[in-house]
């Protein structure tokens, strides 16, 4: 009778590779049915694959390993177990939301269960939470599944002494305890990060080399969106790489080692760690990866002369440096200033961890394993219910302590090939979805047309995206495209500046918002206000408090006459003077047109901030949009009067009465809307968080839509936790939910 192997994972990449290994196995796993249950958290910038994409990936990988003369496995599309499994091998792929795993497991039985929770989420806190939820659900369902074996795959955190290590060690203890109680055989396996050419297609970016390639690609895309030939004349500088190395392990190598250590068979209970290949000098990896992306990457001794582009790359490489290890023959004095988070060498980390563990084990043949593997086994010994159970769980001699001998490091030629393949499969990180169109609909409100743009998918209140006064939809196209797969959303053409429009003040804008809510059939919504939209969103929350679930302010201007003096940007000061003059003397509009168009404004931030350089140049895609309110004198006068009306609105007085969560997202180099004033405004809201994006400008929702969309998505889902779930080096969190400094 064929076996059934259930492989459930938060990593489609690794779980899919393991499913392919099972399907192509020629030993005791031959004839096994494979159920692949994929439960990653899909988010902007990292969409989870659907079952057809994942099935195609698995069958392709299995086909590459199938011996000549054998056909590839059959990929089943059903979401239910087959009643009469045919001879041979069959794959069934099920993709579910993380909170639906328990319900889905009720439909299955399995002989062996794999939990693939490798900790590869870009956010450690979010990843640990998702991995813990999946493991807990699988272990709770173990009796109903009828499995005789359980394999837990987690991250190798030997060199990580932080909360992530403790979280994953607790998971391992839970797995062993549950299996001991249920009389199920168990294996706990650990793997370092791995690389795969199709990782980005599956919505993944594992730590280490993948994050390095992502950092280069994302910086390159953001700069070339402004100045296409910039890299022909300028290098990118990186500090602190001397004496550091990066291990390059392919996902196929990791999956092979894991399968050999945990595949169906007579292996006893125990622990195993996938060994890392010898590290490749980080300077060499950067040089090859830079060349693949057309970037001259130059190591330098320190960060003293970094420009904005260098700073952005440095911030995005911080996570990479945490995965780097010191090369064995590198003298500490020769390494320059080490980057924040740089790890110790594997052997040094293992020795210090072993000293900290303070435990002893019986000497066995397993002691021939690497120090890291022996330490991992000792450290993972669970706190069992009894002395005998503790001895059984803690003794690594009961099973293998390493999954394999260390693979050789990737050759230079293999690195070129792999880096090139990763880039070929990666869509530009923040622009790939920019062409996604929303549906256009025209309503008649107050006797005049109101143009809506709506779309997206998702449950719960929709997102109402408030554009800035006088602006067209182009500023928010990319952001909406990244939000649409996760939320229902609607935006509209703000009225009041077109030649045929009557005077349209704040009261009219609030009436339009009520009409939009009614048109989309929603009683409540999350409001997202960009620039001047923030003050209008606040006013609407006061006008209709039950209709607002939360507030998000992007590069908000809270300018008000007579308040927060000295915090205006130069652009705000100049604009205020001109708008007041035009309100009184509209006949002077023609002479003032050329004075106001911001062009590349936004390249300098608060007083004393360094120049944003190329990151202060306006995106070419916004060249026409930014001139929209300044295209003729009549439109300019209408726009000026809208702003004068907005500046009379006292948002500071309204803020203390706002009872819903609020998220402020500002930018370091915003030269249009004052970050200092936005930060001061955030302190007036009772339940606000304030995040500032490093080396970003006023148009961050356009320039970095995936990051901004991720902030919005996590905030809407869990406003109290967003600062922990989206904690990256390029984000500085200033205000907590009680309005106090962090």
121 has a pLDDT exceeding 70: yes
Between CA 62 and CA 76 the distance in angstroms is 14
Q: Which is higher by pLDDT, 310 or 378?
A: 310
Q: What is the dihedral of CA 35, 41, 42, 44, to 10 degrees?
A: -160
Specify the range with the lowest mean pLDDT, choosing from 1-5, 89-93, 137-141. 1-5
Q: Are 687 and 657 in contact (CB under 8 A)?
A: no
- How confident is residue 741, by pLDDT bands cut at 50, 70 and 90? very low
The reported pLDDT for the residue numbered 2 is: 62
284 vs 234: CA distance, rounded Å: 19
The answer to whether residues 101 and 38 touch, using CB atoms and an 8 Å cutoff, is no
**pLDDT tens, residue by residue, 151-189:** 999 999 875 656 677 889 999 999 999 999 999 999 999
Percent of the chain at pLDDT > 70 equals: 80
CA distance 430 to 730: 15
Greater confidence (82 vs 404) lies with: 404
Predicted local distance difference test score (pLDDT) of residue 498: 78
Q: Residue for token digits 């280490």?
A: 208
Is pLDDT at 439 greater than 60 in this prediction? yes
Summarize pLDDT for 588-617 with one digit per residue, the tens. 888 887 666 554 444 444 444 457 889 989
Domains of the chain: 4-204+246-278+366-406 (3.40.50.720), 439-735 (3.40.50.1820)
Percent of the chain with pLDDT over 90: 60
Q: Of 342 and 561, which is predicted with more confidence?
A: 561
Bridging pattern class, strands 297-300 and 236-239? parallel
Averaged over 387-400, what is the pLDDT? 36
- The reported pLDDT for the residue numbered 569 is 87
pTM: 0.87
State the DSSP string of 509-563. Answer: HHHHHHHHHHHTT-S-EEEEEETTHHHHHHHHHHHSGGGEEEEEEES-----TTS
Half-sphere exposure of 623 (CA within 13 A, CB side): 5
User: Cα separation of 700 and 41, whole Å?
Assistant: 24
CB 224 within 8 A of CB 294: no
Closest C-alpha among 536, 456, 533, 509 to residue 709: 456
Q: What is the pLDDT of residues 181-198, one digit of tens each?
A: 999 999 999 999 999 999
Q: How confident is the model at residue 232 (pLDDT cuts 50, 70, 90)?
A: very high
Out of 1-5, 412-416, 566-570, the most confident range is 412-416
Residue 59 predicted with pLDDT over 70: yes
Q: pLDDT class for 69, splitting at 50, 70, 90? A: very low
- Higher-pLDDT residue of 740 and 511 is 511
| Highest-scoring range by mean pLDDT, 320-329, 533-542, 560-569, 574-583 | 533-542
Q: How confident is the model at residue 723 (pLDDT cuts 50, 70, 90)?
A: very high
d(CA 319, CA 704): 19
What pLDDT is recorded for position 394? 35
Average pLDDT value over all residues in the chain? 83
Average pLDDT over residues 218-245: 95
């Amino acid at each position: 009778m064929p076996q059934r192997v259930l492989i459930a994972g938060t990593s489609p990449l690794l779980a899919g590779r393991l499913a392919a290994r099972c399907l192509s196995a020629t030993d005791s796993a031959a004839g096994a049915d494979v159920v692949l249950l994929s439960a990653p958290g899909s988010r902007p910038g990292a969409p989870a694959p659907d079952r057809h994409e994942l099935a195609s990936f698995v069958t392709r990988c299995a086909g590459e390993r199938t011996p000549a003369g054998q056909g590839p496995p059959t990929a089943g599309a059903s979401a239910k177990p087959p009643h009469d499994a045919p001879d041979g091998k069959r794959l069934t792929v099920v993709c579910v939301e993380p909170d639906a795993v328990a319900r889905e497991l009720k439909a299955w039985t399995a002989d062996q269960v794999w939990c693939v929770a490798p900790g590869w989420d870009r956010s450690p806190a979010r990843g640990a939470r998702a991995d813990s939820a999946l493991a807990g659900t699988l272990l709770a369902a173990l009796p109903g599944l009828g499995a005789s074996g359980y394999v837990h795959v987690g991250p190798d955190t030997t060199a990580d002494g932080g909360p992530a290590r403790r979280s994953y060690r607790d998971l391992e203890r839970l797995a062993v305890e549950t299996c001991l109680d249920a009389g199920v055989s168990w294996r706990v396996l650990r793997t370092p990060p791995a690389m795969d050419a199709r990782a980005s297609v599956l919505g993944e970016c594992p730590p280490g080399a993948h994050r390095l390639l992502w950092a280069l690609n994302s910086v390159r895309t953001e700069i070339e969106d402004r100045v296409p030939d910039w890299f022909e004349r300028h290098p990118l500088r990186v500090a602190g790489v001397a004496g550091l190395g990066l291990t390059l392990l392919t996902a196929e190598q990791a999956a092979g080692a894991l399968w050999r250590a945990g595949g169906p068979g007579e292996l006893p209970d125990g622990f195993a760690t996938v060994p890392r290949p010898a590290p490749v000098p980080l300077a060499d990896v950067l040089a090859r990866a830079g060349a693949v992306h057309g970037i001259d990457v130059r190591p330098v001794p320190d960060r003293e002369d970094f420009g904005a582009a260098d700073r952005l790359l440095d911030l995005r490489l911080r996570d990479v440096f945490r995965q780097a290890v010191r090369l064995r023959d590198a003298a500490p004095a020769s390494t320059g200033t080490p980057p924040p988070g740089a790890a110790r060498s594997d052997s040094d980390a293992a020795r210090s961890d072993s000293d900290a563990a303070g435990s002893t084990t019986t000497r066995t043949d397993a002691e021939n394993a690497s120090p890291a593997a022996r330490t991992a086994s000792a450290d993972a010994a669970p706190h069992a219910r009894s002395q005998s159970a503790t001895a059984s769980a803690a003794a690594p001699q009961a099973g293998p302590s390493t999954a394999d001998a260390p693979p050789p490091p990737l050759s230079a030629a293999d690195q070129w090939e792999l880096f090139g393949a990763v880039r070929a499969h990666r869509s530009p990180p923040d622009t790939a979805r920019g062409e996604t169109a929303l549906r256009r609909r025209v309503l008649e409100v107050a006797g005049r047309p109101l143009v809506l743009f709506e779309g997206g998918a998702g449950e719960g209140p929709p997102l109402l995206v408030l554009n800035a006064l006088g602006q067209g939809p182009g500023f928010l196209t990319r952001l909406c495209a990244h939000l649409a797969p996760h939320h229902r959303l609607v935006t509209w053409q703000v009225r009041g500046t077109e030649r045929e429009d009557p005077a349209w003040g704040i009261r009219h804008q609030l009436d339009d918002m009520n009409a939009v809510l009614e048109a989309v059939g929603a009683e409540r919504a999350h409001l997202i206000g960009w620039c001047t939209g923030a003050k209008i969103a606040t006013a609407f929350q006061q006008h209709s408090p039950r209709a607002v679930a939360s507030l998000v302010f992007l590069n908000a201007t809270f300018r008000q006459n007579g308040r927060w003096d000295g915090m205006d940007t130069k652009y705000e000061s100049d604009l205020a003077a001109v708008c007041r003059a035009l309100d009184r003397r509209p006949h002077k509009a023609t002479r003032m047109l050329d004075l106001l168009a911001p062009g590349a404004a936004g390249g300098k931030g608060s007083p004393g901030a360094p120049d944003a350089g190329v990151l202060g140049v306006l995106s070419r895609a916004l060249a026409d949009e930014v001139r929209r309110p300044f295209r003729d004198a009549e439109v300019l006068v209408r726009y000026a009067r809208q702003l004068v009306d907005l500046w009379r609105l006292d948002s500071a007085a309204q803020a203390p009465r706002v009872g819903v969560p609020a998220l402020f997202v500002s930018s370091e180099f915003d030269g249009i809307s004052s970050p200092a004033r936005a930060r001061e405004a955030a302190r007036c809201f009772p339940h606000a968080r304030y995040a500032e994006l490093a080396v970003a400008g006023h148009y961050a929702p356009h320039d970095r839509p995936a990051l901004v969309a991720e902030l919005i998505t996590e905030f809407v889902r869990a406003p109290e936790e967003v600062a922990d779930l989206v904690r990256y080096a390029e984000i500085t969190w200033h205000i907590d939910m009680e309005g106090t400094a962090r």
